[in-house]
Structure 1
Amino acid sequence: MVSTDPLPLIVFAGAATYDAITVVDHFPGPNERQTAHAVRYAGGGPAATAAVAAARLGAPSAFVGTVGDDEEGERIAAGLRAEGVDISGLRVVAGQPSQASVVVIDRARATRAICTRAVAPLDPADHPRLLDRMAEGAWLHVDHRGWPAARALLDRLPPGRRPGVSVDGGNPIERLRLRDVDLYVPTVESLAGRYGIQPVTDLLNAALADGATTVVATRGADGSVAARAGTPLVTAPGLSVEVVSTLGAGDVFHGALLAAWVRDLPLTECLRYANVAAALSCQGIDGRSAIPNDAEVRATLLADRTDRPEEHA
């Protein structure tokens, strides 16, 4: 029987951007002029896009972060609000620019280059009330920009009052304490950057040894793999789609993983659910327009179900 109880709130904290995205045949060389196949403007940012994915997949979502008092900030807020994300924790900082990026997508190689405007970090000392908002969910998911505030929150709260903590490990994070992390979600490449080149099993075990409760590593088109202490590794295959852009796919994976997690799905099903959501999102130019809803993910899972047994490593 499917539960009709409301799902718990997931709070996402960290980066929110406004992006200008263009698709070209190949990355331009010096002084080269190209005709773009598409130009699009859309919201982005790891934590913000994860929040949009979770909301579109039916999980109550809130975003905590900062924007500037500029046009980009207004568009960032409007985009989150339109997706049903609670933005009561979004602070507008006078005199500060919003984070914005220019993204060039190389169509031939299905890759991209990103130029982003640096902004001040999310400093918990400057925004103490945002910490209270971060503590209100059953889960708190942070990216590299949200981690310092999450660390300050965890230092303030006793263990029994802390939300579950999920960390996007795709970008380097200074002073990351994995003993405080319930769900650590890096790429395999970022794990190798942290622990050195070694087999995936050893990389996951190294993160577990550092204190993470569960580690889920993404492998692009090859799907994802997860580990918990004392249990075999679990893998789930990726979904084959015609890729337009992989922009934001990892962020969608994070939001979808948590949307499945709060539904209490088994770990393998959480991975499969997130793999499908991330793959379907790659059919759009930007990181958000092609994010599926829950019914679309479940229908794709049903159609794509094969006789392959669950893989263990």
Structure 2
Amino acid sequence: MTSRDIEAVFVGVATLDAIALVPGFPGADERIVADEVSYAGGGPAATAAVTAARLGVRSAFVGTVGDDANGRAVISGLEAEGVDVTGVSVAAGESTAASVVIVDRSRGTRAICNRPAPRIDVSAGADLIASAPLVHVDHAGWEPVHRAGLVRDGARLCVDAGNPIPGFDARGVGLYVPTVEALRRIHGEARSVDELLEASIALGCRTVVATDGSKGSYGRTSSGQGAHAPALAVRVLSTLGAGDVFHGALVAAVVRGLPLAEQLAFANVTAALSCRGLDGRSRIPRPAEVLATMARDPARDTGADQAIGSTAGAAAPAPSDTH
């Protein structure tokens, strides 16, 4: 692919994760036997890029890895998914971001220990960012893209704002995607979802989409259009990466030109179906499965036992917390 072929560029964090599925979280000095151990690529922007690529969008990832075996594994994993990696830089003498994740099968929860990513250098991907029809940034990708002035038309910019972004300014941003929890931290706990969406539009973005876990997702445009999509009930193995998958699927829905309500539904279903896997990527569905699931009534899913829309952005400082 050339830069002219790329439909969406994803800028931010890429990690290599070790994930253990356990019957319950271990106590101090306790040794337990894992049901399963998996190694997979992760990171908010990188997993979103993989999702979009799997859904048929010509995607590129821009970020930085270390000059180590993990960095090479991250790059090869993205390449295997058809993601353009010409914008990935390698930081000499530094280690690639990595996470150790423990998934508690009994409670459906997880704990993440993270080694942060090297400082993101966007110079190798500057042409990709400057020319792409849509640029998605995570909490770590915002600052280098903003500083470099590579997206002068804010309508092209999609921001994953589940985690705090120092210095973030929503004015002119085409698609602002926080969680409802994040919006309550910004605008006040007592506000309704509608009030939170209106407050976000008042910040100057053109469209806001807020995720709220099992309650689904909500959208509002500056022209007053609103939408809500309920969560899809699935049998969940792990919610690791579900928020990142939601963002990648939302970008794919925008590229497809779907109306706002269908964008939300498309992203909800894709994120929910990905929760059938232990890691954040192995069960990301293809377009045919997403569309087939959307076409039937989710209430008829007899194998379902948990409603999942998007679990993006649990508040914590680790870069991979939106796994």
TM-score > 0.5 by shorter chain = yes
Shift of 1:129: 3.9
Q: After alignment, is 29-38 or 42-51 more displaced?
A: 29-38
- AA aligned to 1:297 is V
CA RMSD of aligned residues (A): 1.9
Are residues 1:115 and 2:110 paired?
no
Q: Corresponding residue for 1:29?
A: 27
- AA aligned to 1:210 is L
Task: Provide the aligned length of Structure 1 versus Structure 2.
Answer: 296
Normalising by the residue count of structure 1, what TM-score does the alignment of the two structures yield? 0.90
Question: CA contact under 8 A between 1:51 and 1:62: conserved in structure 2?
Answer: yes
Shift of 1:109: 1.4
Q: Corresponding residue for 1:62?
A: 60
Matches within 5 A, 1:187-198: 187-197=179-189, 198=191
Matches within 5 A, 1:282-301: 282-301=275-294
Unaligned runs of 5+ in 1: 1-5, 307-313
Change (3 A) 1:203 1:14: same
Distance in 1 between the 2:68 and 2:240 partners? 24
Q: Corresponding residue for 2:253?
A: 260
- AA aligned to 1:279 is A
Unaligned runs of 5+ in 2: 300-323
Q: Corresponding residue for 2:47?
A: 49
Q: Deviations over 1:175-207 (max 9, x none)?
A: 001004110111111111122212111111111
Distance in 1 between the 2:150 and 2:53 partners? 28
Q: Corresponding residue for 2:304?
A: none
Change (3 A) 1:273 1:157: closer
Higher relative contact order (Cα pairs below 8 Å, separated by 6+ residues): 2
- AA aligned to 2:12 is G
Percent identity, please: 53
| Secondary structure in structure 2 of the residue aligned to 1:98 | coil
Distance in 2 between the 1:291 and 1:156 partners? 30
Question: CA contact under 8 A between 2:47 and 2:245: conserved in structure 1?
Answer: yes
Q: Corresponding residue for 1:135?
A: 130
Q: Deviations over 1:153-190 (max 9, x none)?
A: 4x36644xx66100001111000010041101111111
Change (3 A) 1:7 1:259: farther
Question: CA contact under 8 A between 2:6 and 2:132: conserved in structure 1?
Answer: yes
Change (3 A) 1:225 1:163: closer
Matches within 5 A, 1:36-185: 36-123=34-121, 127-153=122-148, 155=149, 158-159=152-153, 164-185=156-177
Distance in 1 between the 2:59 and 2:225 partners? 31
Are residues 1:270 and 2:270 paired?
no
Q: After alignment, is 186-195 or 239-248 more displaced?
A: 186-195
- AA aligned to 2:281 is R
- AA aligned to 2:60 is A
Normalising by the residue count of structure 2, what TM-score does the alignment of the two structures yield? 0.87
Question: CA contact under 8 A between 1:8 and 1:60: conserved in structure 2?
Answer: yes
Distance in 2 between the 1:28 and 1:139 partners? 43
Distance in 2 between the 1:7 and 1:263 partners? 15
Shift of 1:65: 0.4
Change (3 A) 1:156 1:50: closer
Q: After alignment, is 277-286 or 101-110 more displaced?
A: 101-110
Are residues 1:237 and 2:237 paired?
no
- AA aligned to 1:63 is F
- AA aligned to 1:106 is D
Q: Corresponding residue for 1:302?
A: 295
Question: CA contact under 8 A between 1:7 and 1:263: conserved in structure 2?
Answer: no
- AA aligned to 2:64 is T
Distance in 1 between the 2:5 and 2:62 partners? 19
Shift of 1:25: 1.6
Distance in 2 between the 1:157 and 1:298 partners? 32
Distance in 1 between the 2:241 and 2:298 partners? 25
Are residues 1:249 and 2:251 paired?
no
| Secondary structure in structure 1 of the residue aligned to 2:234 | coil
Question: CA contact under 8 A between 1:15 and 1:48: conserved in structure 2?
Answer: yes
- AA aligned to 1:53 is T
Change (3 A) 1:226 1:163: closer
Shift of 1:130: 2.9
| Secondary structure in structure 2 of the residue aligned to 1:23 | strand
Question: CA contact under 8 A between 1:44 and 1:287: conserved in structure 2?
Answer: yes
Shift of 1:223: 1.2
Distance in 1 between the 2:291 and 2:208 partners? 24
Distance in 2 between the 1:136 and 1:290 partners? 31
